[in-house]
Each structure stands twice: as structure tokens, then as C-alpha cells.
Structure 1
């Protein structure tokens, strides 16, 4: 009977921990139901969460908000085209050790003085659970994800210079983002929980705007978002404006004290007011200029 009570108490404690680790979004981040389900599924499975979506849809910010919502520290690893997987584990500075040996430095006798810990090592040795963000993994070489397979799966790696194995005391919540610039290996995908962030519908985007620009006039918001979606749906557009860009655009409109009437098109141009916040290349600007020219020619 005592054993049963003890088991029940233990299960109750585990349940409290699980409930505490549930992500429901934050006041500063509007998370859709399918996104919160994906985050919590990855946490439960203890698998990396691979998040894809258009640039500017809040993939990187998701990791920061998960960190804030769950009260966990975050370690951020920003990937570049030159980044190697080994850098996430550690780097051995042989050049500094050679120089110190020539100078007769005492520290040269301990190889650990020349080991630089990477982001994965930092996450693995953290005192508690952390959120580890591997940002824009598709920027790196195609072999980069494959080189991290075992480390992300087993949550451990071997340091050859010191002969020690670094193993995660507390398995971090790993969030990996990709802009879909290149295909990721199947073996890597198999080890992840995948979620694609769809571009928000009008109602969701309204909620996002309200978080960043509380109290914005309904007439201005409706007119601005209508124009914004018309731009996104325009055939031939090279780069569709994103969530972050519409927020910048609205910030400019508010700074200029514009209202819905100011956004009304005059027929001379198909370009919206302050279009530089939305259209980011000359090809798209020329597209809307041609549309305006064709519209005037038909009158």
C-alpha cells in the first residue's frame, strides 16, 4: 500500500513537471494551435523541432518565446555558409598551444586550456534544461546536418584531445530553423519533428498586429492589410512581403500619422504608400509600375 502511494505521488510530480513544460504562446507572440501542438510534441518526444517557413514568419522568434514561456535559458547558434558542425561541439586551438610552448607558458601542459566549447557543449553541460536554437541550418554545407546526426540523437560526443565524453545532463529543447533554401538529408529529417509555419490568414495577422501596435485604428488596419494581401497575391512577384515587413510598414504609417484615406490609390501608381518597407527589389517595383501604366492605358 505504501509503495502504491509513493508511486502515485511520483506520477503526480511528473505530471506537474509535464504541465509546466507546456508551451501555449506568450503575450508577445501569437502562436496558432498547430504550432503549439508541434512545439509540445517535440518536447514530449525529446526530438529536435525543425521549423520551416517563409523568411520573416517568426521562426527564430519562436525559439526565444519558447524560452521565455517555459522559463528556460536560451543558447543561440547562428549558422553561416562557412559554419562547420564541429564548431558546435568544440574547437581545438593548436596554433595558440604551439605559440605558448615556444614561449614556455605553463598552461601549455593542460590541453583543456586550448579547447573552445561550442554551443552544443554549452547546452549539454548547462545546470538545467535549456532551449538550443540552431538558426538557418540550410545556409551551411549540405553535409552539415549529417555531421550532427549522432550528437543530436544521442545527446553526447567524444572529445579526442582530452579523451572524455560530453553527455547532456539535461536534454535541451532543440529548435532548428530553415528557410528551405536547400533540401535537408532524409536521415536528418527522420530524427526531427517537423512543422511548416504557414503564412498567417487575415484574422491571425490582425492579432499579431495588435500585439505590436495596440490600439491601431480599425479602418487603417483593414485598408492596410487588404492592400498587403493584394500585393502578396500579385502574380509575378519575386519576393512576397512577410509578417515582419507588414509590421514595419504599419509602424511607418503610424509614425506618419496616416489614416485609411491616405492609403487610397490615386490611379497614377499601383504602388502603396511607403512601399519600400514591403517591396525589396527593383523587379517587384517595376512590376507594379507596369501594372499602373497598363491600367491607365486601358482607360
Structure 2
């Protein structure tokens, strides 16, 4: 059977000011995708391929997966939605995303069993007790790993975020190729070895982000859909982002702060090389978080007397602070 057709609209948001999500253990805020980004998400779902996202640091690449999770968990309640985050590090290996196996723990339990000391937590005769699934392992777990392992769970669907894949070494993306394409992998440490495969009726939705620190292999790119998230230079779009985060701010203050921010952004665009760090939406949010702690009248006065008050939230180098902060 084909999976149910689902569609990301970008219209279902948490309330202004944010909404605590217990499953993600964080506040979620409204996310306003462009039409081209919504199209990319829906094509990735339709074709059952990962969506590779690039863009300037701080442009909201990682937040997209959470926004999709929020909307789908509200809109498609016939599924039990899960969200799995894989923060890639320089030492990460593809195996980390599938599963890890506690060889030492099983050996210790076996030694304790020989001297008749019971360990209530695990059974050395049961290798599954020492298996821990990674983010992709959970997403591809079509069958339970417990006594119900032969029963399918078609109501369970996962959104996976593989964040900053370009941090890992160059072999990392290639080691994910077949698993992402075939949506299955082998657990070689079980006897007999076991394959975990995604439920074809409820396949995982995979987002991958990159800050373009390394080039990704062509074979990997071929298996992904791609979208570059542009900075929202439109003043109204930035106002929506601020108003989603902060309640009841005077329009005059929001307009003034965003105008000043866009001036800085424009100067940096004119002066900086493509590889340099320009202010993005994350700096705007940090800046406004500080401005929001003061009475609007005081903030407006500071904006009149200083180019960029509380500039430490905007400038990420001594050169930037010296060049733009005075």
C-alpha cells in the first residue's frame, strides 16, 4: 500500500510568544516558509527522499523540521508522530545513526552470571538488551524489537533531522547512501542478524542541513532533494518573525529596530566576502530578546543615540564591532 498523501502548508503555527512542546523539550515558534520551500518539503515527502537544506548560518534550516513536526502532529492525528534529532559532530560515524551495541555491558553481565550475581537490568543471554537504536534506527523500526517484534506498527511515523552533516568527514554521507535510499539497515550484532526497515505505509521524513563547510559527494546529492533557504530581506517577513516570538510590542519600536538591522545587513552584504558571517535571523532574534527587556521608550532613545545598542548580540568579531558598531 502507498503511504497516505500528506502536505505541509506552513499555516499551522504555535501561538505568538511560543508554545512549549513536551516531546521536543523546547519552545516552538511560528515558522514562515516561502512557497518554494513548502514545495520542496512536499516534493521530498511525495518522492520519499531526504531534503537537503543549505543557507547562511542562523537562517532557520534546523527549525524547519520542527515546524513540519508541529504542523503534522496537529493536522494528521491518525499517526503517532515522533521527532528524532541527530546532531552530527566531527567524530560522528554513520553507524551512530543506526544503532550502538554495548559489548562491555554484556560481557560484564555474563561474568556476573557466572558467579551467580543477578543483574536485574539486563540478561546476557538476550543480545537485544544491549542494543540502543539511533535516530535513523528508530525511524526505520518497522517492527518492535521486543516480544511484539512481528507485529507492524503502521500508525507510527518519524521526522528525522540530520543536523550539520558537513561537520563529519567526507566518508560520512556516502556511508548513509544505501540506508537512506533503501530505508533499511542490518543489525549485525544480533544472532541471527536482523534487518530494520521503514514501514512503506508510514515512511520517515528526513531533513538534512549543511552549512557548506565541506562539499558533499555527488552520489549523496543525487539521492536528495535540495533547497537553499534565502534570508528574508523583506521587512514584513522579519516583522512576522519578531511578532511570533514577542508579544505586544509597539509597532514603532519593531519597525525602527528592523530598519536598523536591515541597514547593517546591507552594509555587510556590500563589504563582506561570500564566506564571511553576516547577521541573519538568529542575530535579529537575539538582539530583539535584549531590546525587549527594556521599556520601549528607552529602547527608541538608545536607537537614536547609538547605531547598534547591545551590539555583542550582532557582531561576531572584533573587526565587525570596530567597523559597524561605532
Q: Which of 82, 100, 110 pairs up with 1:101? A: 110
For the residue of structure 2 that corresponds to 1:129, the secondary structure is strand
Q: Which of 169, 176, 181 pairs up with 1:141? A: 169
Equivalent positions of 1:244-255 (< 5 A) are 244-255=282-293
Aligned to 1:117: 133
C-alpha contact (below 8 Å) 1:224/1:263 kept by paired residues: no
Provide Cα deviations, 1:131-176, integer angstroms capped at 9, x if missing partner: 1111111111111111000000000111222211111123100111
Looking at structure 1, the residues matched to 216 and 260 of structure 2 have their Cα atoms a distance apart, in angstroms, of 35
C-alpha contact (below 8 Å) 1:96/1:114 kept by paired residues: yes
Query: When the two structures are superposed, what TM-score results if normalisation uses the length of structure 2?
Result: 0.77
Q: What's the CA shift for 1:24?
A: 1.1
Looking at structure 2, the residues matched to 265 and 283 of structure 1 have their Cα atoms a distance apart, in angstroms, of 23
> Gaps (5+ residues) in structure 2?
14-29, 74-80, 143-152
Aligned to 1:77: 86
Higher alpha-carbon deviation: 182-191 or 162-171? 162-171
Q: What's the CA shift for 1:261?
A: 4.1
Provide Cα deviations, 1:168-210, integer angstroms capped at 9, x if missing partner: 1231001111111111111111101101100012222122122
Looking at structure 2, the residues matched to 247 and 40 of structure 1 have their Cα atoms a distance apart, in angstroms, of 28
| Residue 262 of structure 1 pairs with residue 301 of structure 2 | yes
C-alpha contact (below 8 Å) 2:82/2:158 kept by paired residues: yes
C-alpha contact (below 8 Å) 1:265/1:272 kept by paired residues: no
Equivalent positions of 1:188-227 (< 5 A) are 188-201=220-233, 202-227=235-260
Provide Cα deviations, 1:23-51, integer angstroms capped at 9, x if missing partner: 11132111111111111111111100111
Q: Which of 59, 67, 86 pairs up with 2:69? A: 67
C-alpha contact (below 8 Å) 1:47/1:174 kept by paired residues: yes
CA RMSD of aligned residues (A): 2.2
Q: What's the CA shift for 1:54?
A: 1.3
For the residue of structure 1 that corresponds to 2:232, the secondary structure is coil
Aligned to 2:324: 288
Aligned to 2:195: 165
Looking at structure 2, the residues matched to 66 and 264 of structure 1 have their Cα atoms a distance apart, in angstroms, of 36
For the residue of structure 1 that corresponds to 2:84, the secondary structure is strand
For the residue of structure 2 that corresponds to 1:76, the secondary structure is strand
> Gaps (5+ residues) in structure 1?
1-9, 293-299
Q: How many residues align?
A: 272
For the residue of structure 2 that corresponds to 1:73, the secondary structure is strand
For the residue of structure 1 that corresponds to 2:208, the secondary structure is strand
Rg larger in structure: 1
For the residue of structure 2 that corresponds to 1:203, the secondary structure is helix
| Residue 30 of structure 1 pairs with residue 32 of structure 2 | yes
Looking at structure 1, the residues matched to 304 and 186 of structure 2 have their Cα atoms a distance apart, in angstroms, of 63
Query: When the two structures are superposed, what TM-score results if normalisation uses the length of structure 1?
Result: 0.84
Distance change (3 Å), C-alpha of 1:34 and 1:98: same
C-alpha contact (below 8 Å) 2:139/2:160 kept by paired residues: yes
Looking at structure 2, the residues matched to 182 and 108 of structure 1 have their Cα atoms a distance apart, in angstroms, of 42
Provide Cα deviations, 1:63-83, integer angstroms capped at 9, x if missing partner: 011011011321111111111
C-alpha contact (below 8 Å) 1:223/1:263 kept by paired residues: no
Looking at structure 2, the residues matched to 224 and 44 of structure 1 have their Cα atoms a distance apart, in angstroms, of 40
